[in-house]
Chain A
């Protein structure tokens, strides 16, 4: 079946602009996650959704970052007033329930110039 999909695959934006990243999880997966992968760094947890609720937003780096999930499916990660340090690959993952192995999408490569 279809895996996790993300769009856009690449995004180049100017410093100070807002960006929206989209994630379509595997159908039926109730848990959805956003991670960030920076050059030379491991995967950094950003936020976790169970259904449409986000019980843990503790990984969001600042209040410029927000995320929502609607219909228990699609999620968007929004970064306002982007900064150069936001440049990274943003990975979305889903799982049937929390705590099981995560299935990742291909990621969105964000470059802030």
Chain B
């Protein structure tokens, strides 16, 4: 079992839809959870950074972490064509190896006008 599993999609939605992106993980030591957005031929861009379980909201984006289920989600409200990109989840633990992020393979999202 891979440490982080992410449905690669592709996911295609109409403009204005609510998008739900998810990752599951197996390592209970993970405590920090991130979502990155990567446009084609660009580097990943940090979208959301959360610690432990709970919700975090930033504009149209909401990140949820459920450590008991080892499941994290990113919700995008009122999706826009400019949200079309690959979304990567990433996570790490605390302590000596906290610098090393483990990434999902990414979900390709297309928002159609």
Measured in the bound complex, the distance between the Cα atoms of B90 and A103 in whole Å is: 13
Partner of A56 from the list B92, B94, B100 (CB cut-off 8 Å) is B100
Asked if residues A45 and B49 are in contact (CB atoms below 8 Å), the reply is no
A-B contact count (CB 8 A): 54
Asked if residues A103 and B46 are in contact (CB atoms below 8 Å), the reply is yes
CB-based nearest B residue for A100: B49
Partner of B99 from the list A41, A48, A107 (CB cut-off 8 Å) is A48
Give a binary string over A16-54; 1 marks a CB under 8 Å from any B CB, 0 the rest.
Answer: 000000000000000101000000111101001010000
Question: Least Cβ distance of A88 to chain B in Å?
Answer: 13
Partner of A101 from the list B4, B41, B49 (CB cut-off 8 Å) is B49
Chain A contact-residue range equals 20 to 34
Q: Which residues of A contact B57 (CB under 8 A)?
A: none
Partner of A106 from the list B34, B42, B46, B90 (CB cut-off 8 Å) is B42
Within 8 A of B (CB), among A87-108: 91, 93, 98-107
Partner of B44 from the list A45, A104, A109 (CB cut-off 8 Å) is A104
Is A77 interfacial (CB-CB < 8 Å)? no
CB-based nearest A residue for B4: A42
Is B105 interfacial (CB-CB < 8 Å)? yes
Closest 9 interchain pairs by CB?
A99-B98, A104-B43, A98-B99, A43-B103, A101-B49, A42-B105, A42-B103, A101-B46, A106-B43
Beyond A42-B106, A101-B46, A104-B45, 18 additional pairs, beta carbon < 8 A: A40-B105, A42-B103, A42-B105, A43-B44, A43-B88, A43-B103, A45-B100, A48-B99, A56-B99, A91-B44, A98-B99, A99-B99, A101-B49, A102-B101, A104-B36, A104-B43, A105-B43, A107-B42
Q: Which of B's residues lie within 8 Å of A, judged by CB?
A: 4, 32, 34, 36, 41-46, 49, 88, 90, 92, 94, 97-101, 103-106
Q: List 17 contacting pairs A-B, 8 Å CB cutoff, sorted by A.
A: A42-B104, A42-B105, A43-B44, A43-B101, A43-B103, A48-B100, A99-B32, A99-B99, A101-B34, A101-B46, A102-B46, A103-B46, A104-B36, A104-B43, A105-B43, A107-B42, A109-B41
